[in-house]
Structures are given as C-alpha cells and as structure tokens.
Chains A and B, each alone.
Chain A
C-alpha cells in the first residue's frame, strides 16, 4: 500500500482541539487506502508545550504515530515560529530524510512550527491544510511565508479559499474545497446515558479567549437577566489555563467528554451556540446539523455565516441585540427549529460524507503526484 504522512502539532484521543481532531479523522478514514503515518510532537498541552507522551512510536488502529520531542526554543527570537512551537527539529530531520517514502505529506494548521518549518523544507509532495481563518496569523509574514511552498492546498470552505487567495498568490496551486467529513450514522444512535439536563443550549469546544467564550459567557448571563427562564448553557470542553469566566448557576461546565457523550448532549440541545469569530470550518456546527439541531453563531465570522446560509440551518448575530432576538426566536418556535434541523441534516448528508471527502483528498494527492512526475 502507498504511504501517506500527516504532520500535526498535537495528536491523541484525549487531545482537545479542532485541527487536531480533524487530522485524526482524516488519518482514520485514509487508513484503509494508505499506510498512514502521523508525525506529531510529544505534547498534549499548548501553553506550555509539555512532553507528556512518553512513547516515540505507537500504533493506533492501523495508524503509525511517530512522536518527536519538543525542544527548548528560547535561543530563537520571541516572534519566531520556533518560539511559537512546538519546536521539534528532530521531526524536520526525519521528514527531510524520509519524505520520498510517502506519496504525499499533508501539513496541518498554519500557525504552528510543525507546518511552517515543514513546508519550508520545500519537499515536492507537500499538501497544506491550513485551517486558516481571518485572524492575525493569516496576515502575518511569519506564517504567510508557508504559502510559498506547498504543491497542493486543501481548504475547508470557500470562504477560507477566498481569504487566502486574496492575501497570497496561491491561485495557481492545485486545491480542493472540502476535507472534513461527517459519518451521519454516528449521529443517529439512540440511547441516553447523560443526566436529564432540561432545556439547554450547548457550547462544545475549547473554553478559551481564542474561541471568544468570554462573549458567550457575558451574553448568556445578560440573556438570563432579561429573559428569566429555566434555560441553561451546558459547556463541554477543556478550559484554557488562566481563563477568566463569570460563574452563573445556569452555566454548567462538564469538561472534556467522550465523543458518545458529546453527541448525546448535542442531540438533546435546543440550539448549539458558537461565539467564535475565527473559524475555518467548525466541526461542532457540522455535528450539530447532523443531529438536526440548529446553530446560533457569530456573524463576524464569514465561514460560520456562510455555513448558516448554505445549510439554511442556523442564525448569525453581530451584537447582543441580534443574539437576544435570534435566540428567543429559536427557543420559542418549535417549527422553526424543526425545519432548520431537517435542513441541517440534509446539508451535511449532501456535502460532508466521508466517501466524497476522501475522493476529494485523493484526487488532490494524485494531481500533486502527477505534477511531481512531470
């Protein structure tokens, strides 16, 4: 079988992060077609990078995981990609020596050393999956240099592609839109092992400033002040260290939960909310739609707004007043939620099947390969 390498800054079943999960899903779904190696760091945390994982090599369901030590980058300037980390020079040495053994090498996520330094090796079988969004990193020369090297680019959405092409001259690099799938059957399971939680809206993801959780925290508390009810906000996901939140009796933090539990929480939610301004896809939005649960998202994010419009299954706000009115509309209208739920599920079925996504990724890999040969 041909070999495929995926390069990602963190990897593991207990690693909480969208891009990391994205990589794991691609690894698992490509494992039948390729011998998949995941090259990653030994870190589990982000700040600081820790070397928690002991094993340098392990196998997980047909995927070989090669872990490289995160080394001290303090000799580098504070604004360097080495300092951003995770600084794994031994990974780069390995890649430089072995890249020809792979049909393609897919680099995940723009703003980490593993992708930026790896792409700068300028190997002729590189594919970049930037998971980029409209934030400081995409406009920064430090990271933007990475776009000079890939032979192919995988985008999550048309908005991501348009953004990157508006900033960098990558229009002539072969690319595909659509590199994450949803196994719709996973979201059909019945069974309910979670405690009955009453009426709630759901947030699932890292509880961090980068996800604008602060805004959701404040908006929900204000909403409850102005609209008293038994409505709760259930929060799934790990909290970033040092994150300041305002506690409220109706905000319930469940921490990191299993995929099965997460799906049950989604299925029983009235609405899934996401205040993040910076997304390249948002897996939780797709998962919510797959569970026929409409979403309420931050309209400052073109990707989230675009997904709502394409799916006709979510509303988007840009200030508190819009948030309040839209949430009230959704909570008070069962028919609207039901219609949006049906739209959402159909949208995911039509656009995000893994069969279609794998074909998409494969066709880019083949195109990059044939370019390499010519």
Chain B
C-alpha cells in the first residue's frame, strides 16, 4: 500500500480495490457470510457451465454474486415467464426451461426461486436434468444482509 500512497499522480482506485479483493479472497472468515455461501461458491467454481433458473430478483442477485467471485460461466437464465425478458438480462438470454435444458445439456442448473423450489426441481428432473447437476441457491442461508 506504500506504493499506492506515494505514487500520488498514478492513483488508481481500481488497482487499490483489486489488490484488496485479492487479499480478501484468500480469507474465508467473514463476520457476516455463512459457510453455506463459501461452500456454494466453491461448488459452482468447479462447473463449466451454469444456467440460472429464475430471472427475477434472486436470479439476478445470484448472477452478480457469481460475477463478483469471478465466475463467468453463466450460459443463460431460464424462467417459466421468459417472454417478459425478451431483451435478456445483463446481456444474457432468458429461455424457457425446456429450451434451456435442450440447449445446455451439460450445464449445472441453479434454482434461485425462494418459493416453488420443489416444483422447479421436479420440472428440471422431468426434462431430463440429472439430480447431481442441479442445486438451489437460498439467499437467506448466505448471511448476506438483505
């Protein structure tokens, strides 16, 4: 940090923030975030492609959480109300669950709806998604202050 302070003319907040981000990424001990959060991030870091099931608030929040954790493997959103999102969400397509499954055969599906979770899981299973290729993201379990 001495370098940043003395190089007044070359102050760059992006570099400062990035340096701090790298330092804190090594720490798993956060006074607010629960182990569930870190376990979830570790799990999705290992997959090659992610489909976020739900393009509403929780789905969009998950997308941002993944980006913050440098996870850029989201292929698309899937939503039963996909017609509402004809322009996509944050540059990603929003497909029906049927199309999302058909077009992303090997992806990992993360259900983000906080209600109707079982209905969505059943829908995915009926569409042929293996139970080991899906999970739920339950925001209230993360410890994030909402």
Interface residues of A (CB under 8 A from B): 134, 136, 139, 141, 166-169, 212, 214-215, 218, 222, 226, 299-300, 308-309, 312-322, 325-326, 329, 333, 335-336, 339-340, 343
Contact = CB atoms under 8 A, between A and B. Distances in A.
Question: Which interface class (under 10, 10 to 19, 20 to 34, 35 or more) fits B?
Answer: 20 to 34
A116 to B, nearest CB: 18
Given A166-B90, A214-B145, A299-B17, A339 B31 contact: no
B32 A320 contact: yes
B5 A319 contact: no
Given A166-B90, A299-B17, A329 B1 contact: yes
A109 to B, nearest CB: 20
A336 B5 contact: yes
Given A322-B21, A329-B20, A339-B8, A218 B32 contact: yes
Contacts of A340: 11, 13
A325 B5 contact: no
Interface in B1-37: 1, 4-6, 8, 11-14, 16-17, 20-21, 23-24, 27, 30-33
A312 B13 contact: yes
Contacts of A169: 87
Contact of B88 (A166, A312, A322, A336): A166
Contacts of B30: 319-321
Contact of A316 (B17, B31, B57): B17
A329 B1 CA distance: 8
A318 B27 CA distance: 14
B63 to A, nearest CB: 11
Interface of chain B: mostly helix, strand, loop or mixed:
helix
Contacts of B60: 134, 139
Contacts of A343: 11
B68 A318 contact: yes
Given A321-B30, A329-B16, A329-B20, A335 B145 contact: no
Nearest to B145: A215
Contacts of A319: 24, 30, 32-33
Given A329-B1, A336-B4, A320 B31 contact: yes
Contact of A141 (B16, B31, B84): B84
Given A318-B68, A339-B8, A325 B13 contact: no
A80 to B, nearest CB: 18
Nearest to B23: A325
9 contacts: A141-B84, A166-B91, A218-B145, A315-B17, A318-B21, A322-B21, A326-B17, A329-B1, A329-B20
Interface string B96-127: 00000000000000000000000000000000
